[in-house]
Amino acid sequence: MRLNFYSLSSGSSGNCYYLGNEFHGILIDAGISATSIRKFLKNIDVSMRTIMGVLITHNHIDHIRGLEVLTRKESLPAFTTDKIWKSILSPKNKISRDCIREIPVQQKFKIAGFDIEAFPVCHDAPETIGFHICAGEKKITIATDLGHICQTVAPYIKAANMLVIESNYDEEMLINGRYPPFLKARIQSDNGHLGNRQTSAFLADIINDNISHICLAHLSKNNNTPEKALQALQQIFSEKGIILNPHQQISILNRNIPTDILRLIE
């Protein structure tokens, strides 16, 4: 079985990720327009007809922008918790009610042969979840919006072969930047986002031979650069004497445009 991961867009302006094999796939979040999702998938020869569902992490617009159209025009089933559905649905929005699927937290469910488990993360939405997905012999954990890595989250991250984790802001850029104090405080809080140093320190603690891919995700447009996110990680790894194996790969996911496909199983 082949297994590909493809980030269509990552960051505060839109998040959408694809995981799929030669038969079918799933999306994680739909934070860009349905038109862009279709186009970016077509670029890698994936038809919308092979997408069996979209998993939704929370109600922020950078995760659900394209959801309404995907449910109405593609009849794509959308999976999230009851509480997150309540925070998304309103009389005004036109999400097709036929596409709503409720999922439990910390209990396995299946979509298209993938074993999936949602886990709670700390973030400033009514509820936010990450996903741990088992596909063949590979385990993928996706946690893109979280203020800190609490005890519930850590085991899902440690168990992953491939990790998509937020590295949202460079601490100095945020502190010295133009955001108002309340927003800086929100971002840095335990319910906000993970900074480069926080993410890097955690990764240095848990890195092990089973982790083959680390994707730094959800970079801030105003308070981070791909270079700074990577530098922070390299610095902590070198301070702690961590040397990656040749098969371990670090990627920085692009904002607004797709990142090259990662082939988890060739």
Instruction: Note the residues at the interface with Zn ion (CB under 5 A).
Output: 60, 62, 145
Distance CA 213, CA 163 (A): 6
Smallest distance from the beta carbon of 184 to Zn ion, in angstroms?
16
- Distance, in Å, from the CA atom of 84 to the CA atom of 195, rounded to the nearest integer, reads 25
In the complex, the smallest distance separating the C-beta of residue 128 from Zn ion, rounded to whole angstroms, is 7
Please identify, using beta-carbon distances, which residue of 13 and 235 lies nearer to Zn ion. Answer: 13
Q: How far is the CB of 148 from Zn ion (least distance, A)?
A: 14
Q: Which of 148, 264, 113 has its CA nearest to residue 130? A: 148
Q: Which parts of the chain fold into alpha helices (H)?
A: 34-43, 61-64, 67-74, 82-88, 154-158, 171-176, 181-188, 196-206, 226-239
Residue type (1 letter), 18 = Y
Complex with Zn ion: residue 248 or 254, whichever CB lies closer:
254
CA-nearest of 183, 152, 151 to 168 is 183
* Minimum separation from the CB atom of position 168 to Zn ion (A): 9
DSSP assignment letter at 59: S
Residue nearest to Zn ion (CB): 60
Closest to Zn ion by CB, 145 vs 170, is 145
Q: How far is the CB of 2 from Zn ion (least distance, A)?
A: 29
Compare residues 189 and 235 and give the one whose CB is closer to Zn ion: 189
Nearer to Zn ion, 79 or 211 (CB): 79
